[in-house]
Amino acid sequence: MKTTLRFTLLSVTSVLILAGCGSDDDDEVMMPDPPVPEPVVMTYEVTITNLTAAQPLSPVAVMLTAEQQYWQVGMPASDALALLAEGGDNSELVNAGGVLAASDSGMPVGPGDSASVTVSVDDAEGVWLTVATMLVNTNDGFTGITGYDLNTLTIGDSVSMSVMVYDAGTEANTEAAGTIPGPADGGEGVSAGREEADSVFVHGGVVSQEDGLASSVLDQSHRFDNPAVKLSVTRVE
Amino acid sequence: MKHYAYLLGAATLAASHLHAAELTVEVQNLTGGIHFTPLLITAHPDGSQLFEVGEMASAELQSMAEGGDIAPLAALADSLNADSVTNPAGGLLGPTATTSAMLSTADDNVRLSLVAMLLPTNDGFVALNGWKIPSEPGIYTAYLNAYDAGTEANDEIRGSGMPGQAGMPVPPPLEDLVGTGGSGVTATTTNAMIHIHPGNLGDAMPDGGNSDISNTVQRWLNPVAKVTVTVAE
């Protein structure tokens, strides 16, 4: 679809240049400058809806990127991802290599709430989407999608999906006081070091005090299941 | 989820005509603390299946789900002239690990299934059940759930992998990962039919409590596996 769009725009540009030549009385044969296509601006609106009972989402990062995945089950999390997954801080991830344009929701997104983030990119060779946010009442749980191909989405098209929760594998899920940055605890965000296995996996859920982990600062309301969020993506330009 | 829709669409595209296929089947364990026993991956005829959710488990499925023994199910598949691969990982498939298998399928074998027991559980298993193999070459993805065979109470304590005998088998690689001395979570089965596994309960005591499962490490949420099937040109 992208190819078709480009072709159309180039054709329009050529017509304009030809019209310009037609009204030009200069006798010299001049080669026109190669046509410079109008920059193609691609703008996407991403809406995230928090489907959990009591897991606020950290400010949701929305990144338009080159073809790249910012996490993969079975691979170690990057430091930038660990920062987001343990502390809700997306500042490194949105500046990671391959990011063409990024924005975030500015505010946390509470249970039952939605937030929309609009991001634009000019003249990209191709656009892939990464959305990432921490479930803040966890040790290192995050959700989102990465490396999602937007190139078949034409203007006005929407796609929606339910996504699962991942564990960054960078901090043990102790649920202990002082280890969880969300309102359930108010503990520290990023901790030093990695877990032994040090790889991203699909989160097994939180246990909570009521369900058998006496040392947990979490209660039954902080439990979650998949899917934890709904994402919808619309290409608006 | 998007991938389910994709699969359904692909299945619709696949005409009902029979076709041989060259498949690569990649299986990834998505969990952080569960091991898969040796996998059975099999392409079998329309109208056959390894199990049906909501129905009672066969003896063959029970052997797999309670003890990780896929030989009876593989023999059943052989009797249907299925094309099968057993144990592609050469043992347990650990948390987040991936294995893959090549499968050449005969004309009649148009359904793909895959099973393995989940450890530590009593009778939990992961499955792809009779997925229609697309005739269109391409790469297809499916996310798989964890099932409970309904054949054994989920007492969550060390015991036997023999069908009908209580407790969880603990093969050597899991020896240090599974607790001891649990008193047993429950002695009853509330749903004797194959159903979606309610998940491990576990406890926080490695040497006591009611479960030998670790509640912070060996729980899971679905999906527990990702399957990527490449249908060659």
Helix (H, G, I), strand (E, B) or coil at B142: strand
Distances (CA, A) of A101 to A41, A85, A122: 12, 21, 9
pLDDT at A39: 78
Kindly give the residue spans of alpha helices, DSSP state H, lying in chain A.
2-22, 79-87
A72 vs B: CB within 8 A: no
Q: In the numeric block, which tokens belong to residue B18? A: 């029979």
For residue A3, count CB atoms less than 10 angstroms from its CB and return exposed for 0-12, middle for 13-18, buried for 19 or more: exposed
Question: Helices B59-67 and B71-79 meet at what angle, rounded to 10?
Answer: 150
In a domain, B178, yes or no: yes
Chain A positions in Cβ-Cβ contact with residue B203 (cut-off 8 Å): 212
* pLDDT band (50, 70, 90) for residue A38: confident
pLDDT in tens, A107-165: 999 999 999 999 999 988 899 999 999 999 999 999 999 999 999 999 999 999 999 99
Mean pLDDT, chain B, whole residue set: 93
Spatial distance between the Cα atoms of A148 and A59, rounded to a whole number of angstroms: 20
Give chain A's radius of gyration (CA, Å).
23
Mean pLDDT to the nearest integer, A2-20: 40
The distance of A90 to chain B (nearest Cα, Å) reads: 24
Mean pLDDT, chain A, whole residue set: 89
pLDDT at B3: 36
In a domain, B230, yes or no: no
Complete domains list, chain A, with CATH: 41-235 (2.60.40)
In a domain, B145, yes or no: yes
* pLDDT band (50, 70, 90) for residue A195: confident
pLDDT in tens, B173-231: 999 999 999 999 999 999 999 999 999 999 999 999 999 999 999 999 999 999 999 99
The conformation of residue B158, written as its DSSP 8-state character, comes to B
Range of the domain at B27: 1-14+22-224
Q: In the numeric block, which tokens belong to residue B157? A: 């304590």
Spatial distance between the Cα atoms of A20 and A23, rounded to a whole number of angstroms: 6
pLDDT at B18: 64
In a domain, B134, yes or no: yes
Helix (H, G, I), strand (E, B) or coil at A202: strand
In a domain, B229, yes or no: no
In a domain, B232, yes or no: no
For residue A165, what are the contacts with CB-CB under 8 A and spacing of at least 6?
Answer: A135, A141, A142, A143, A202, A203, A224, A226, A228, B221
In a domain, B233, yes or no: no
pLDDT in tens, B97-137: 999 999 999 999 999 999 999 999 999 999 999 999 999 99
For residue B213, give the chain A residue with the closest CA: A212
pLDDT at A34: 75
In chain B, how many domains are there?
1
CB contact under 8 A, A204 and B204: no
pLDDT at A23: 43
Predicted ipTM? 0.89
Q: Which residue did the predictor score with more confidence, B8 or A69?
A: A69
For residue A169, give the chain B residue with the closest CA: B32
A 103-132 near B (Cβ less than 8 A): none
A211 vs B: CB within 8 A: yes
Is the pLDDT at A20 greater than 80? The verdict is no
B36 vs A: CB within 8 A: no
Bridge partners, residue B141, by sequence: B228
Mean pLDDT to the nearest integer, B17-38: 92
Is the pLDDT at A232 greater than 80? The verdict is yes
pLDDT in tens, B78-96: 999 999 999 999 999 999 9
Spatial distance between the Cα atoms of B86 and B129, rounded to a whole number of angstroms: 16
Total residue count of chain B as it appears in this document: 233
pLDDT in tens, B128-160: 999 999 999 999 999 999 999 999 999 999 999
CB contact under 8 A, B216 and A227: no
CATH of residue B130's domain is: 2.60.40
CB contact under 8 A, B220 and A199: no
In a domain, B28, yes or no: yes
